[in-house]
Amino acid sequence: MMRALWTSGSGMKSQQFNIDVISNNLSNVNTTGYKKERAEFKDMLYETLTRAHLLDGQGRPVNLQVGHGTVPVATSKNFQMGNLERTDNPLDFAIDGDGFFMVAGPRGDILYTRDGSFKISITDFGNMITTSEGNPVLDENGLEIIIDFDLSRLNVGLDGELSFVDDDGIVVPTGQRLGVVKFSNRYGLESVGSSFYSTTSASGQPVANDQMGTRSTIRQSFLESSNVQVVEEMIKLIVAQRAYEINSKAIQSADEMLGIANNLKR
């Protein structure tokens, strides 16, 4: 009977973790570029009471096994694109495709993001394009992007090339291009907060935008919204809550059966 207690307990713990993941999705429904997550589970160790065996047509054709519950093993991100929303802000960018923007991290490393709501920071070298946290946005060569012209004249092409319109109405390239990269296994990226990702051995090293698959394009004055569907997450939340409840009922039933067995001597 104790097996049922531990098995149902593992189910309650797993569903609690599942609700944590769903809650995080719902809390980020308005986070720019956020990608929803899904909890993945696997069944635990099995106890084999009788093993299947056949000899000259005699024996047991099936096993007699009892499982020991479930355990969460992974959270898988869904990188499906969210809707592109027009903002009319020249410093807002959305990636149409599988790419990621490159951003300088606080420890001198490079981080990656789908959040293109960039800002301008005034530095000794000029006006620098940064994230809301002040992290410099990098170009395709890993260099900071400095603009020395009126922001209203900024123009970014589909390939990420920066240019501006001079006083004569001529488009002048700046010689820089927004850094956009891809990964062989983007599901292996590690989320580090603030909509940033870092590379791991599972994700592989970043690859230039035009060197793998279909080239991602840049949409200026657009932002990519979260791909979380509230109704879908609410349904998952109800299912997880019911699964948690039924596991608690199993624990109560096992406890009652143990109580009956303990009272047999009376």
DSSP state of 57: T
Grade residue 266 by pLDDT with cuts at 50, 70 and 90.
low
Contact 178, 101 (CB under 8 A): yes
SS3 261: helix
The pLDDT, as a whole number, for residue 65 is 84
Instruction: In whole angstroms, give the CA distance from residue 128 to residue 126.
Output: 6
Chain segment 7-54, per-residue pLDDT in tens: 999 999 999 999 999 999 999 999 999 999 999 999 988 887 788 887
The pLDDT, as a whole number, for residue 96 is 95
Contact 78, 227 (CB under 8 A): yes
Domain boundaries in the chain? Answer: 2-79+228-265, 84-224
Chain segment 72-109, per-residue pLDDT in tens: 999 999 999 999 999 999 999 999 999 999 999 988 89
Mean residue pLDDT of the chain comes to 91
Q: Which position has the token pair 């898988």?
A: 76
The pLDDT, as a whole number, for residue 64 is 82
Whether the model pTM is above 0.75: yes
56-70, 88-102, 124-138, 214-228: least confident range: 56-70
